[in-house]
Amino acid sequence: MKSLVMLVLAGTLFGSAPHEIHTTHTRAVVEGGAVLWRVRLFSDDLEKGLRAWSRRPAFKLDGDKAADSLFTAYFNNKVSVMADGRALTATMMQKGTDKDPAGGTVQWYLLQFNAGKQPVSLSVRNSLLAEQFPNQANIVVVLAMPGEKRHSLYFGDGDMDAQTVDLRR
């Protein structure tokens, strides 16, 4: 407990909140042929991941004009979505930054996949930041409309294999 207090105090003094949890959280809504994907990631984790993936050690989320396109390319490389067996590609719609209650920042992105028509099944693989953090956990909650049919997917503990859900159930 004492060491945890010291870590939090050190994070406060040095301007960043330390965290041992490396996770992303996604809420994906499937409706009318579109999959809207809102993902939240710790800013420091994302920056580290994008630095390594792009081989740009000086990369900063703030102030780099290529940050949005770099994130979108990274996202499409690490997240695959298939609607009824057909691979989809995401485009970024919006982004933002929220303050974490512990003092850090969280990046959020709203991306859209166009399936063309309402899919019956959705296959998802999410390995965001798994190459950086052995304990990375990616949680995806899929809501199939109409009716808000909920499916929860967990990618972690080294298992980043695709998972398929039946959107009719």
Range with the lowest mean pLDDT among 6-10, 87-91, 93-97, 162-166?
6-10
pLDDT of residue 163: 97
159 DSSP 8-state letter: B
> Within a domain: residue 14?
no
pLDDT of residue 5: 35
- pTM across the whole model: 0.86
**Polymer length of the chain:** 169
> Within a domain: residue 11?
no
If one counts the domains in the chain, the total is 1
Domain around 110? 21-166
> Within a domain: residue 7?
no
pLDDT score of 103 more than 60 = yes
Burial class (CB in 10 A: 0-12, 13-18, 19+), 86: exposed
> Within a domain: residue 120?
yes
> Within a domain: residue 3?
no
Give the integer Cα–Cα distance in Å for 138 and 125: 10
> Within a domain: residue 47?
yes
What are 142-166's pLDDT values in tens digits?
999 988 899 999 999 888 899 999 9
Give the integer Cα–Cα distance in Å for 53 and 143: 30
> Within a domain: residue 123?
yes
pLDDT of residue 18: 62
pLDDT of residue 38: 98
169 DSSP 8-state letter: -
What are 35-88's pLDDT values in tens digits?
999 999 999 999 999 999 999 999 999 888 999 999 999 999 999 999 999 999
> Within a domain: residue 12?
no
pLDDT score of 100 more than 90 = no
Name which residue leads in pLDDT, 108 or 19.
108
By percentage, how much of the chain surpasses pLDDT 90?
78
Kindly indicate the confidence band of residue 15, based on its pLDDT and cuts at 50, 70 and 90: very low
